[in-house]
Structure 1
């Protein structure tokens, strides 16, 4: 039977629609095995929100992206502590680009997992990652893979992480490269040692910046290729529709030509019918005159017969 930490890791790696049943099954197994406390702890684990679930999936399936976000957050916090305004301005632009890229990657991952999410959920993920950049505790929560709710930050106050992770006791601060550890408050080094540390620090910062720039370039290339493929597909679909419309137009034009030919034939038939009708009407008029003359002749004959009788 797994302990709480193992169970949490298993449960928060699941799809949302299987979470509740899996949690209840584990809780029931623990209680049946005689560990009622564990069963109670497991049953109380909350189902993650859509945004929290997607951040957990990033931590599980896109750990390098989460690491990149947290590394940049550590550099930003350090620049903030040093009051390095020039560095802050440069890094702020890099932060925005990285967060937008991460939000797009998150939605793409959700589609790969068969659970596409809305733009609102994507914005929730971006907000959580921004909070992780601004606060060390939020960074540890985001990287834990067991978020149960999204995180929020205002840029000034510490991020409220209370109740944000399933098992807080298993969440450990990340290394300095992950942006979790504050700088030591002990007495700083002086002399050659400090100078060497500063030089190494600058080289490390430059190397990290170069690595981020390379990853950002790769992400931009992937986005551009995806956009190009979508544009090509849109073009193909438009051309197919144009071809279909053109073919239909040709069909209609042929039908119109056929109808025009038929109209001419019918007009000829109408003219012939009119001529025939005129002939018949004239014959009828002649027959009417003949009939009238015959009736008059009959009347005269009857009159004469009556006179003779």
Structure 2
């Protein structure tokens, strides 16, 4: 186990920023209490909880380091080569870069969702903006690769000081996960481009399929909702009709009781009349 003196603030930050956001604060405070050096403990307690989009990028940098490294190295090579490209090639390059960044951001969001975090479209957009910044600027690429982002980055409007402030601990090439890129030969560059294009096409196919599935489910959800509304309305009608029938039945039962009472009276009067007739008949017979 490494001695406390050998563990840097960046090492501790890397451990903490690997945790789910809801666990960060308690883990940070507990880690600070473990440190004998008061000054170092104070610096650990000062570490800020990462915003969700920043944590998603940190997760992607840790879990998909190879994919991120390849994308950032390719971006560095493209930045070096773009001065030699014409407008048409630059336009095509821009489209491919945007598609690649979008695919990476979607993968990062899906990875975070699989960890139980609720990722909104706004969070995915912030992740995409951060990765886009890394495509255009070397310092942003180092910040993304560090896995210690505190907040998402913006491709425009941030200088190196602001980028460094978005990372926990110091930011330099030695502490970054991406090595200083070397210019590849033409064959290696073509292979890297082809691999990126293949990944882009695969991501586009997956995106199209996901959009089709979403549209189909939305249509089904709409149909189910409409049927549910119709059934609810029908249930309400039937309940009202049932209540009316109950009231009518109650009235008929009361009427039946009244008729039964009248029938009883009528039978008694009939019996009395029959007796009167019999008595009168007997009286006549005796005359």
For normalisation by structure 2, the TM-score amounts to: 0.69
Which residue does 2:109 correspond to in 1?
107
The answer for unaligned runs of 5 or more in structure 2 is 243-287
Q: 1:230 to 1:36 in 2, by over 3 A?
A: same
Q: 1:238 to 1:152 in 2, by over 3 A?
A: closer
RMSD over aligned CA atoms reads 3.5
Which residue does 1:220 correspond to in 2?
204
Which residue does 2:18 correspond to in 1?
13
Distance 1:160 1:87 in 2: 32
The structure whose RCO (Cα within 8 Å, separation 6+) is larger is 2
Contact kept? 2:112, 2:119, Cα under 8 Å: yes
Q: 1:167 to 1:81 in 2, by over 3 A?
A: farther
Which residue does 1:205 correspond to in 2?
189
Q: In structure 1, the residue corresponding to 2:187 is in which secondary structure?
A: helix
1:233-282 CA-partner distances (Å, limit 9, x unpaired) = 33433443455566678879999999xxxxxxxxxxxxxxxxxxxxxxxx
Distance 1:115 1:256 in 2: 46
Which residue does 1:174 correspond to in 2?
178
Q: 1:173 to 1:63 in 2, by over 3 A?
A: closer
- Cα offset, 1:157, TM superposition: 7.0
For the pair shown, the structure with the greater C-alpha radius of gyration is 1
Distance 1:182 1:155 in 2: 28
The answer for unaligned runs of 5 or more in structure 1 is 184-199, 259-309
Pick which of 149-158 and 136-145 moved more.
Answer: 149-158
- Cα offset, 1:156, TM superposition: 10
Contact kept? 1:152, 1:160, Cα under 8 Å: no
Distance 2:157 2:42 in 1: 37
- Cα offset, 1:22, TM superposition: 0.5
- Cα offset, 1:25, TM superposition: 0.5
The answer on 1:152 being equivalent to 2:157 is no
